[in-house]
């Protein structure tokens, strides 16, 4: 998504400048072309040598040096986006009031590309009315403000004002400037979360699924223009996108019924729920009392939703399943691809650190029905969702 994108970063004098080193590395890794401007105060916090080595471009900090003039106008025209990060109170005030006493400010004033800023300051400065006024001014110029985070601050205090993490900044840039609405007009159906199979009025058979992966997929599909129906098992996750229509269910049977109803009009269906494979044959009407020394519950198989939809699939519909395995991962994933008539299976192994239930990250391998096999490194679930949707889009329009 960032391949070939030109990102100009202005660094100002703030302790958070150290995070820009990682930001540059991540951007370059994702194929972006990065150039950097340092304000004089920023040089006390990060070294131009580190930044020029990582970005593979000279770092600019002066409007003039002994023999030449740096062309701020062309820099602002070169960039697809100008990001000022970290944005200090001082540079914020200067940007809001049209000051032009360094290279970054001259570039800002002449930039024709979109601008976003990632403020970083102590909590009291963050909450000062002048800061709010200046940020409102920047917003009124059309500049985008990346929200600050709550956490430990340079002063040692805890509160609002921390600069967003590099991964969050990248996500913000993609969402605001580089998102292609390649699923505009498409309908998607997603399942997520666990299912709870009742034993009696107080007990159930469930699993550790958090629903985070499915939620990230819904957000990504919606951002790219799809209208999403989400059938979600018990999970506290809430959604505020108007393009995500959530139907809450408890059991595998309820999830099946909703999916069968919604599937005929879905262009893309992703089954990321951890559906119970077995459910109690009988649900006790009253709470089961602790009487017997040994106690067993008779279970029966639930309907396999993915397999049923695979049998109903018609031309042009794309069906994606997940496989969560603890051994013979590749073999089982490939079996699921054919047995369930899916177009794509996303494998995550519980043997991989940071993958699976509850984590904010995942590590996946994608198996496509044309034989393509793609392994990805461990990433935040939002980025994993993007990788999966990229493959879906590719297959959909192939």
* Sequence-ordered list of residues with C-beta below 8 angstroms from that of 386, at least 6 positions apart, any chain: 1, 174, 220
What is the size of the binding site for ligand CTP (CB under 6 A)? Answer: 15
If binding is defined by CB under 6 A, does position 344 make contact with ligand CTP? no
If binding is defined by CB under 6 A, does position 161 make contact with ligand CTP? no
Instruction: Note if 207 is an active site residue.
Output: yes
> Which of the stretches 82-90, 229-237, 271-279, 357-365 binds ligand CTP when contact is defined by CB under 6 A?
271-279
> Which of the stretches 130-138, 173-181, 299-307, 377-385 binds ligand CTP when contact is defined by CB under 6 A?
299-307
Could you tell me the smallest distance in angstroms from the CB atom of residue 378 to ligand CTP? Answer: 20
> For the chain, first and last CA: distance in Å?
18
If binding is defined by CB under 6 A, does position 321 make contact with ligand CTP? yes
Per DSSP, the residues of 125-153 read HHTSHHHHHHHHHHHHTT-EEPPPEEEE-
User: Do residues 177 and 236 lie in contact, with contact meaning Cβ atoms separated by under 8 Å?
Assistant: no
> Which of the stretches 15-23, 87-95, 167-175, 302-310 binds ligand CTP when contact is defined by CB under 6 A?
302-310
Q: How far is CA 367 from the centre of its chain?
A: 21
Residue of 65, 85, 92, 94 whose CA lies nearest to 7: 85
Is cis: bond before 86, omega within 30 of 0?
yes
If binding is defined by CB under 6 A, does position 271 make contact with ligand CTP? yes
Q: List residues bridging with 324 in a β-sheet.
A: 348
Which residue out of 57, 71, 207, 245 is catalytically annotated? 207
Report CA-CA distances (Å) from 362 to 45, 212, 234, 346. Answer: 33, 10, 21, 11
**Cα torsion through 231, 237, 239, 243, rounded to 10:** -30
If binding is defined by CB under 6 A, does position 337 make contact with ligand CTP? no
If binding is defined by CB under 6 A, does position 313 make contact with ligand CTP? no
Report CA-CA distances (Å) from 26 to 57, 97, 172, 262. Answer: 15, 32, 14, 39
If binding is defined by CB under 6 A, does position 280 make contact with ligand CTP? no
If binding is defined by CB under 6 A, does position 306 make contact with ligand CTP? yes
Residues 131, 247: Cα–Cα separation, whole Å: 42
If binding is defined by CB under 6 A, does position 304 make contact with ligand CTP? yes
If binding is defined by CB under 6 A, does position 254 make contact with ligand CTP? no
**Residue closest to ligand CTP when measured from CB atoms:** 305
Exposed, middle or buried by CB within 10 Å (0-12, 13-18, 19+), for 29?
A: exposed
Could you tell me the smallest distance in angstroms from the CB atom of residue 304 to ligand CTP? Answer: 4
Nearer to ligand CTP, 258 or 302 (CB): 302
> Which of the stretches 163-171, 182-190, 196-204, 317-325 binds ligand CTP when contact is defined by CB under 6 A?
317-325
Judged by CB under 6 A, which of 273, 388, 392, 393 binds ligand CTP? 273
If binding is defined by CB under 6 A, does position 267 make contact with ligand CTP? no
Please report, as ranges, the residues that interact with ligand CTP according to CB under 6 A: 191, 252, 271, 273, 275, 277, 302, 304-306, 321-324, 336
**What residues are labeled active site?**
207
């Amino acid at each position: 998504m960032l391949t070939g994108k030109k990102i100009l970063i202005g660094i100002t004098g703030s302790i958070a400048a150290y995070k820009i080193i990682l930001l540059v590395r991540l951007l370059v890794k994702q194929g972006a072309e990065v150039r950097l401007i340092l304000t004089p105060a920023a040089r006390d916090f990060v070294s131009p040598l580190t930044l020029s080595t990582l970005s593979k471009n000279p770092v600019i900090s002066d409007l003039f040096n002994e023999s030449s003039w740096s062309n701020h106008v062309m820099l602002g025209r070169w960039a697809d986006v100008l990001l000022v990060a970290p944005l200090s109170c001082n540079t914020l005030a200067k940007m809001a009031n049209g000051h032009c006493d360094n290279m970054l400010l001259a570039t800002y004033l002449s930039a024709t590309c979109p601008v976003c800023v990632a403020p970083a300051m102590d909590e009291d400065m963050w909450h000062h009315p002048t800061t709010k006024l200046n940020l409102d001014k920047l917003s009124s110029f059309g500049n985008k403000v990346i929200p600050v985070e709550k956490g430990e601050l340079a002063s040692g205090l805890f509160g609002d004002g921390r600069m967003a993490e590099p991964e969050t900044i990248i996500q913000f840039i993609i969402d605001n400037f580089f998102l292609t609405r390649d699923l505009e007009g498409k309908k998607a159906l997603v399942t997520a979360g666990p299912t709870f199979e009742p034993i009696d009025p107080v007990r159930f058979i469930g699993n550790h699924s958090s629903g985070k992966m499915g939620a990230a997929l819904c957000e990504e599909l919606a951002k790219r223009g799809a209208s999403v129906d989400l059938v979600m098992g018990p999970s506290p996750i809430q959604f505020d996108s108007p393009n995500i229509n959530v139907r809450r269910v408890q059991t595998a049977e309820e999830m099946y019924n909703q999916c069968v109803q919604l599937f005929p009009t879905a262009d893309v269906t992703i089954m990321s729920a951890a559906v119970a494979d077995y459910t109690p044959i009988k649900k006790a009407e009253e709470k089961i009392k602790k009487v017997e020394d040994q106690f067993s519950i008779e279970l029966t198989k639930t309907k396999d939703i993915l397999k049923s939809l695979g049998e109903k699939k018609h031309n042009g519909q794309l069906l994606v399943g997940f496989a969560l395995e603890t051994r013979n991962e590749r073999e089982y994933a490939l079996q699921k691809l054919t047995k369930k008539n899916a177009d794509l299976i996303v494998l995550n192994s519980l043997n991989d650190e940071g993958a699976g239930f509850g984590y904010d990250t995942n590590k996946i391998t994608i198996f496509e029905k044309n034989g393509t096999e793609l392994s990805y490194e461990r990433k935040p679930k939002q980025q994993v969702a993007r990788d999966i949707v990229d493959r879906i889009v590719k297959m959909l329009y192939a």
